[in-house]
Amino acid sequence: MTSTMTTTVTTTTRRRPSRRARAMLVPLAFLAPVLVLFVGFKAYPVLYALYLSFTTNEGGQQTFAGLDNYIRLASDPLFRIALKNTLQILVVQVPIMLVLAMLLAVAFNSMLLKGRGLLRVSYFVPIVMGLVAYGVLFSALLNYDNGFVNYLLTSVGLPRISWLADPFWAKVSIILALTWHYIGVNAVIYLAQLQSIPQELYEAAAVDGANRRKQFWHVTLPGLRPAIVLTVVLSTIGTLQLFDEPYVLTNGGPNNATLTIGLYLYQNAFQYFDFGYASAIGYALTLIVVVIAVGQGFVLRRRQP
């Protein structure tokens, strides 16, 4: 009797914390693989890069250099050019692409459009194209002498364009390529959001005498807000980190006209093997991304009625 009592007591006292521990253990077990991999292959490299950004390579040894890399960055003319190019591409490309994507989504959502399934896939399919395939294909299409695009231009009586070798047109090429690649994904995000806007809102607006244009401004656009916040922030992050397109199409040229921060980082790391400086560029870029993305999120959310 006494012994049974004691066992009961010990098991309950043991069980109470163990139940709480169990409640912790189950979610941690589900999270464990991601946590281990995230710490090992993301958090550790990221922190190691932070350490590298305070070092410099001297005779094959990384030695501590304090803020030297960051001081050098502040007065590096190439970094300034890369920053300017990146921001120029950002402010032109993101608004153009997102406005077109939004109009496209409105069209996809309209009963007036025939063959919607096929058309939607056509706009969406460029997303499967990888960096290298993309580079091979677009270099061929945009070739000055015998590319397909210039053939079309000359066949309608326009002059050839030096797509990849002229500073202005090289930027235009990158903007076109980016838009081609990502417009469909953004249109689909808008489309998903459009379909979640209740039909009654349109009916009520129509009863109140709002025509199609007014309905767009007063029902569609406010309803799209969450998707707008998402796409603006994601596209901004993507374009600020822009690397793929200039890497495969222009390699930053001509005359650094398409040098982006992402590309400059890569060049410093894997062409000049200046890992410390490359890491400092990476952290400067991260800071720019965070400031701009947080600012956008703030502005776009605050305007909510």
Partner 1 sequence: MTPHVLSGRSHRARERSLSVFLTTFIALGALVMVAPFLWLIVASTHPTRDIFTTPPNVLPGGHFWENLVTLFGSSGFADALRNSLIVSTVSTVLGVFICTAAGYAFAKFTFPGRNAMFVVIIASLALPSQVTLVPLFQMMVTFEWLNSYQSLILPSLAVPFGIFLMRQTMLSVPDELIQAARVDGAGEFRTFVQIVLPTVRPALAACSIFLFLGQWNDFVYPLVVLRTQDAYTVPVALASLQGVSSTDYGALLTGTLVSITPVLLLFLFLQRHFVAGLLAGSVKQ
List 104, 105, 205, 232, residue binding partner 1 (CB under 8 A): 104
Helix (H) or strand (E) holding 55: strand 55-58
For position 151 contacting partner 1 by CB under 8 A, the verdict is: yes
Kindly report the CA angle at 78 between 75 and 84, in degrees rounded to 5? 95
Please report whether residue 174 would count as binding partner 1 according to CB under 8 A. no
Q: Which of residues 248-287 bind partner 1 (CB under 8 A)?
A: 261-262, 265-266, 269-270, 275, 278-279, 282-283, 285-286
Instruction: Pick the piece of the chain touching partner 1 (CB under 8 A) from 74-82, 84-92, 118-126, 200-208.
Output: 118-126
User: Pick from 9, 95, 148, 168: which binds partner 1 (CB under 8 A)?
Assistant: 148
According to DSSP, residue 56 is labeled E
Which value, in Å, is the radius of gyration of the alpha carbons in the chain? 27
Q: Which of residues 211-230 bind partner 1 (CB under 8 A)?
A: 226-227, 230
Q: Which residues does residue 58 pair with via DSSP β-bridges, in sequence order?
A: 61
Nearer to partner 1, 158 or 192 (CB): 192
DSSP-assigned letters across all residues of 99-127: HHHHHHHHHHT-TT-SSHHHHHHHHHGGG
Find the helix or strand (DSSP H, E) in which 154 lies: helix 148-155
- Least CB distance to partner 1 at residue 3 (A): 31
CA distance 235 to 232: 5
**156 forms part of the interface with partner 1 (CB under 8 A):** no
CB-CB contact of 224 with 216 (8 Å): no
81/104 with CB nearer partner 1: 104
Instruction: Give 171 or 264: the residue with its C-beta nearer to partner 1.
Output: 264
| Spatial separation of the C-alpha atoms in residues 140 and 125, rounded to whole Å | 20
How far apart CA 222 and CA 216 sit, in angstroms, is 9
Please state, in angstroms and rounded to a whole number, the distance separating the CA atoms of residues 111 and 124. 20
CB of 2 to partner 1, least distance (A): 34
Q: Which is nearer to partner 1, 72 or 167 (CB)?
A: 72
Q: Which of 99, 137, 158, 204 binds partner 1 (CB under 8 A)?
A: 137
Q: How far apart are CA 299 and CA 276, in angstroms?
A: 35
Does 136 help bind partner 1 (rule: CB under 8 A)?
yes
**In the complex with partner 1, which residue's Cβ is closer, 2 or 157?**
157
State yes or no: residue 110 binds partner 1 (CB under 8 A): yes
Q: Is 96 in the site for partner 1 (CB under 8 A)?
A: no
Q: Does 188 bind partner 1 (CB under 8 A)?
A: yes
